[in-house]
Chains A and B, each alone.
Chain A
């Protein structure tokens, strides 16, 4: 177990309760998604996870230790946080300087910092932008630069707040492929917030559904999306492909063991149905 939230509650100073009782375990090496509608407290929860906000009750533990026990340098060396709006995060004048910010604060020698900056920019695919002023970057490039800024600290866990928000379909695919690569090749545990239900089953192997300040569902995409009523009551919906499967099952009497969540699963389901029909006719 890497990161764990136990009975976490959080209220704002105006009395609004954002998080009521959150229990969550993020195992090492997993690709997790936190799904929830707008304004449900995903960003607040992430800020509590990384100790930027203190919970009113409960605690967050990293490798068994409360996050409040870690020094800032030690904590953020292990957990990287990527903000939703890259403009919040990119404050240095150039890409290279921004990516160097974290390693410099961790007091690495200059050669190590330069190497980390180079590696991080190569990982996100923008090494050529090292000396580029931030305001010349496109939104997608800014997203990549902000991820590089966190990668340069070589975290074990990366928490990303809506990493695909505002990107075009190609941009979404590129960022998600990058995250999968970081998860599979670099072994970084990923936790991302999103409300894009179509995206999640393709990439994530563990899903948490946050609604009304609580984690109402927790499990693999198959387990989570089989709870159709709970998903809908959380102001979310089934992935489009799963919805099609549901209609085929309910209205067209197609026999389906479980709802398909991805195009690949749907294809296999359709092919098997067609073949089955063909066999029965033959």
Chain B
């Protein structure tokens, strides 16, 4: 399911629309600028405006609502948790009081303002990253980051991770299926069943690590056999997208 989700995002970046046609560097610069402004401006107006704008853009390019909700839900739950903590534990003027288990907990005005600001910022930041991820293929993002002088080694690790995520996921799934076929994850409940499943999962994880190591060695050999000199991406990103997206152009 996780792999399908990656594939879904990846497939969306391959579509042809206004935002996928836009140069990755423009999108990265705009996103970073928006993040800086988001953190610099107090209040929630800019954040909410940004969320509205991004949602309109996502709607315009027909990004499935399920995917948008799925991507935003987890950070949003975390944001709501932070909001509640701040609302009740930030010192300030009480605006309402709750009676919980015989004690009074007061929600404060300062806590509410700070909580809503953080919640809005989290939602806006996540929406922004979602927008970037569904409109920009990872390799374009990588080249844009290199162009913008991000540390090359980090970008290269990101690109390699992206490439091998799918390969290792497939290997992990193959091991899981092989385990399932030999009762690695038995049906039913009980401590024995549970212990067997935990053991299978730990074996699976260990095997994926070992295979990742093997894969890394083979890949390094393959890189050396093509005169690897320390650069994965190579080339320079001089031209804008309209003039060709190839990294060597």
* A residues neighboring B (CB under 8 Å): 47, 50, 52, 72-73, 76-77, 80-81, 83, 85, 87-94, 96-97, 100-106, 110, 113-114, 117, 130-131, 133-135, 149-150, 153
Contacts and interface: CB of A to CB of B under 8 A. Distances in A.
Contacts of B231: 104-105
18 contacts: A76-B225, A80-B225, A83-B221, A87-B215, A88-B215, A88-B218, A88-B222, A89-B219, A91-B163, A91-B219, A91-B223, A94-B137, A94-B139, A100-B248, A104-B231, A104-B248, A113-B235, A135-B10
Nearest to A130: B246
Contacts of A72: 224, 227-229
Contacts of B7: 135
B226 A110 contact: no
Interface residues of B, number: 38
Interface in B212-249: 215, 218-219, 221-229, 231-236, 238, 245-249
Q: Nearest 5 A-B pairs (CB), nearest first?
A: A104-B234, A93-B139, A88-B218, A102-B226, A105-B227
A47 B221 contact: yes
Contacts of A92: 139, 159, 163, 232-233
Contacts of A105: 226-229, 231, 234
A117 B234 CA distance: 14
A52 B235 contact: no
B232 to A, nearest CB: 7
Nearest to B227: A105
Given A73-B227, A85-B218, A114 B163 contact: no
B107 interface: no
Contacts of B145: none
A91 B160 contact: yes
B224 A52 contact: yes
A97 B227 contact: no
B59 interface: no
Interface residues of A: mostly helix, strand, loop or mixed?
A: helix
B78 interface: no
- The residue among A72, A94, A101, A113 with the most chain B CB atoms within 10 A of its own CB is A101
B233 to A, nearest CB: 7
B194 interface: no
B150 interface: no
Interface string B30-53: 000000000000000000000000
Given A88-B218, A92-B163, A105-B231, A97 B247 contact: yes
Contacts of B226: 76, 101-102, 105, 149-150, 153
Contacts of B229: 72-73, 105
A91 B234 contact: no
A110 B137 contact: no
Contacts of A88: 215, 218-219, 221-222
B166 interface: yes
A110 B218 contact: no
B222 A83 contact: yes
A91 B232 contact: yes
Contacts of A104: 231, 234-235, 248
